């Protein structure tokens, strides 16, 4: 094959590529090294495709999110069952899985109850090596070697590739002696932790996170810390992530909205413990301004027993909730006034309140209000902040801008994220691609130009980055920050795609017909295979088996909804990681796995806690639905990475030709 390729090369081709080949020669300075790399790459191309995981909308549920990563959506449990089957009791297999998921914590409990630690260590180390051998089978030895912990790298490699075909007693004795020496030198605990972490790491080759890390649940900052240390991942931004982007950039409307949502769900942990946001100024302002107000419409939505607050705290949170909500409407009105191109004047509703009649006029109709005690809203200038509100917002803005951890997390999201992503013929975005009534791509005007489909996604992603780029001119940066807010609630935003966001109505208007938000046409056509194909074509997604994968809208399984649409070409994998959605969805989230045999959708039941998992061996109860199986097993050569490696092999073969024909001199 190599000679055939070399024979069709011409001197002109080599001369055209000579500058690049000279650069390549710095890494592979002679025929031997270039040939060796070709052999290595060809071997990688013929390995089975590693497993990709897709997760959407964790919404701060860090325990459930981290557990799904630890058990690889049930993959580790299935491998333990395949390896040990009836040779281990159910409880023993559960304990082994839990040890792999939570090695440090589980070891403490085992050691407190185990009477013969030496036997436990011998049995467990042998079991873990068998599991590691199985999950590492899709990778080259070189890849495994790079992932091995430095402290135990050589030992794990020896144990991992120990022959188990009955070669002879000497090799078996050597293997057993390594295990016993690990125990005798009191390194067994560290070794178990290292192997367990390595199993977790190899079980998921790449993680695709489809947005909405933030809001509702208490652990968004913990999810971000997990990602900051994760080995291989990418993100498409969700609408809730975008709102936190705006807050981190100093957009005061976004700051108010982030605070409002956190207070609505009683989620102070992310703000105070996670990002050190100083809420004392808001609490002081709220207690003074609403000291005689019961704030009944602003009660906390408790999502779990752990997040419940006492009566006094409930009262304070409700006051803070109302205070920041009113400020949010004022801050949003300021953006709407300075950005008429957003076409959102109908959202400036404070100026349509009739305090004497207790009503608000919306689209020409008058509606009764549930609450008109708004002491900071002036009849003459309702959208103006009071002096106290202005001072409060500047303090809160300073707190968000100077939160080191928040800024680091935002930089991580910028580095690993975008508005859309394409991987192995799968197009990923969080919510929608705006469409017209006939299913065609909708043009959206930004500045003086119009964008649609992929171009719209690229432009909005560019604007998000401009808000954090120090080289962006002030006027453009100001617009970029305002557009981030628009992405949260604008009717032509691919992250919202509804006619309006009725936050004001849901708080203050009794008539529930005003609460309705009409979805964009994407939702009408999401089950139309021809429209889905048109979107895939626009994003230049190729491949016989191509899909759109998105989240954003919880799939209500209780009502018979299905995540698989458009004849399997569109997959909606938001199943309700957030506890706020679980009463509606009936489940606790989906994950999608894409391995060498095809696509599988994993449906999860609610996860109690990491503590329960460690103490009782409780795993997330999951069921798997086959989305698409390939008639032939996929290999690395069939993936995006395979295309890159094939191109590299082609260039290396050109380099060999250049060496052998004297265009470049070898360095021995």
Each residue of 552-570: pLDDT tens digit? 887 777 677 788 999 999 9
Return the pLDDT at 260.
97
Return the pLDDT at 587.
63
Return the pLDDT at 167.
47
**pLDDT digit string, tens, across residues 589-607:** 788 899 888 888 888 777 7
As a residue count, the chain comes to 668
Please state, for a pLDDT cut of 70, what percent of the chain lies above it. 92
Q: In the chain, what's the furthest Cα-to-Cα distance? A: 95
When pLDDT is averaged across residues 437-462 and rounded to a whole number, the result is 96
Reduced to 3 DSSP states, what percent helix, strand and coil does the chain have, rounded to the nearest 5?
A: 55, 10, 35
Report how far residue 499's alpha carbon sits from residue 322's, in angstroms, rounded to the nearest whole number: 25
Return the pLDDT at 553.
83
pLDDT confidence band for 303 (50 / 70 / 90): low
Return the pLDDT at 170.
65
Return the pLDDT at 499.
95
How many of the other CB atoms lie within 10 Å of CB of 551?
Answer: 30
**Phi then psi for 596, rounded to 5 degrees?**
-70, -15
Alpha helices in 204-238 (DSSP H): 220-228
pTM recorded for the entire structure: 0.91
CB 337 within 8 A of CB 477: no
Report how far residue 456's alpha carbon sits from residue 471's, in angstroms, rounded to the nearest whole number: 23
**pLDDT digit string, tens, across residues 205-252:** 999 999 999 988 889 999 999 999 999 999 999 999 999 999 999 999
When pLDDT is averaged across residues 657-661 and rounded to a whole number, the result is 90
Please give the residue that has the higher pLDDT: either 4 or 239. 239
Q: Is the pLDDT of residue 459 over 70?
A: yes
**pLDDT digit string, tens, across residues 72-115:** 888 898 899 999 999 999 989 999 999 999 999 999 999 888 88
Most confident stretch, 383-387, 544-548, 557-561: 383-387
pLDDT confidence band for 6 (50 / 70 / 90): very low
Please give the residue that has the higher pLDDT: either 521 or 618. 521
Query: Contacts for 137-141 with beta carbons within 8 Å, 24 or more apart?
Result: 138/47, 138/48, 138/49, 138/50, 138/51, 138/205, 138/596, 139/47, 139/50, 139/202, 140/40, 140/43, 140/44, 140/47
Q: Is the pLDDT of residue 163 over 70?
A: no
Return the pLDDT at 620.
66
Report how far residue 602's alpha carbon sits from residue 575's, in angstroms, rounded to the nearest whole number: 10
Report how far residue 210's alpha carbon sits from residue 230's, in angstroms, rounded to the nearest whole number: 16
Q: Is the pLDDT of residue 268 over 50?
A: yes
């Amino acid at each position: 094959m190599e000679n055939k390729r070399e024979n069709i090369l011409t001197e002109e081709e080599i001369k055209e590529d000579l500058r690049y080949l000279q650069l390549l020669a710095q890494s592979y300075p002679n025929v031997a090294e270039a040939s060796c790399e070709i052999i290595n790459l060809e071997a990688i191309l013929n390995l089975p495709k590693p497993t990709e995981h897709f997760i959407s909308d964790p919404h701060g549920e860090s325990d459930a999110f981290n557990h799904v990563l630890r058990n690889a959506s049930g993959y580790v449990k299935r491998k333990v069952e395949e390896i040990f089957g009836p040779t281990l009791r159910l409880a023993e297999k559960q304990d082994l899985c839990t040890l792999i998921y939570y090695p440090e914590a589980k070891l403490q409990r085992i050691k407190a109850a185990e009477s013969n630690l030496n036997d436990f260590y011998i049995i467990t180390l042998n079991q873990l090596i068998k599991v590691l051998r199985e999950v590492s089978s899709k990778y080259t030895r070189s890849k495994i070697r790079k992932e091995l912990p430095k402290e135990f790298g050589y030992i794990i490699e020896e144990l991992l590739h120990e022959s188990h075909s009955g070669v002879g007693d000497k090799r078996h004795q050597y293997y057993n002696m390594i295990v016993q020496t690990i125990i005798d030198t009191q390194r067994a605990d560290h070794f178990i932790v290292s192997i367990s972490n390595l199993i977790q790491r190899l079980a998921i080759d790449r993680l695709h996170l489809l947005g909405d890390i933030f809001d509702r649940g208490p652990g968004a900052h913990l999810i971000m810390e997990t990602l900051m240390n994760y080995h291989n991942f990418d993100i498409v931004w969700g609408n809730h992530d975008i709102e936190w982007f705006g807050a981190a950039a100093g957009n005061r409307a976004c700051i108010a909205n982030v605070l409002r949502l956190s207070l609505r769900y009683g989620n102070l942990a992310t703000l105070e413990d996670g990002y050190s946001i100083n809420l004392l100024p808001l609490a002081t302002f709220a207690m003074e301004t609403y000291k005689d107000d019961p704030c009944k419409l602003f009660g906390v939505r408790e999502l779990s027993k752990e997040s419940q607050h006492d009566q006094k705290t409930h009262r304070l949170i409700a006051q803070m909730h109302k205070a920041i909500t009113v400020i949010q409407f004022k801050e949003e009105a300021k953006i709407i006034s300075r950005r008429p191109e957003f076409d959102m004047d109908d959202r400036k509703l404070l100026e349509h309140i009739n305090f004497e009649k207790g009503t608000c006029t919306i689209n020409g109709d008058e509606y009764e209000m549930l609450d008109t005690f708004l002491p900071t809203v002036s009849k003459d200038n309702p959208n103006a902040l009071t002096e106290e509100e202005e001072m409060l917002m500047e303090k809160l803005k300073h707190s968000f801008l100077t939160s080191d951890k928040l800024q680091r997390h935002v930089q991580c999201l910028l580095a690993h994220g975008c508005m859309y992503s394409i991987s192995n013929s799968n197009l990923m975005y969080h919510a929608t691609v705006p469409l017209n009534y006939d299913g065609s791509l909708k043009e959206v005007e930004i500045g003086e130009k119009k964008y649609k489909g992929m171009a719209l996604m690229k432009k909005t992603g560019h604007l998000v980055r401009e808000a954090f780029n120090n080289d962006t001119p002030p006027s453009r940066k100001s617009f970029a920050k305002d557009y981030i807010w628009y992405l949260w609630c604008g009717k032509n935003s691919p992250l919202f795609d509804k006619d309006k966001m009725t936050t004001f109505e849901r708080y203050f208007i009794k008539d529930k017909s005003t609460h309705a938000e009409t979805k964009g046409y994407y939702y009408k056509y999401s089950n139309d295979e021809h429209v889905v194909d048109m979107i895939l074509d626009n994003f230049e997604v190729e491949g016989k088996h191509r899909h759109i994968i998105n989240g954003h809208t919880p799939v209500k399984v209780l009502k018979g909804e299905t995540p698989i649409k458009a004849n399997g070409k569109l997959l909606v994998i938001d199943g309700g990681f957030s506890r706020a959605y679980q009463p509606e969805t009936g489940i606790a989230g989906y994950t999608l796995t894409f391995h060498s045999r095809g696509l599988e959708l994993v449906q999860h039941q609610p996860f109690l806690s990491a503590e329960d998992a460690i103490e009782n061996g409780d795993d997330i109860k999951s069921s798997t639905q086959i989305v698409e199986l390939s008639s032939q097993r996929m290999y690395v050569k069939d993936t995006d990475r395979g295309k890159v490696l094939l191109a590299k092999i082609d260039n290396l073969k050109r380099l060999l030709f250049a060496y052998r024909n004297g265009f470049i001199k070898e360095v021995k």
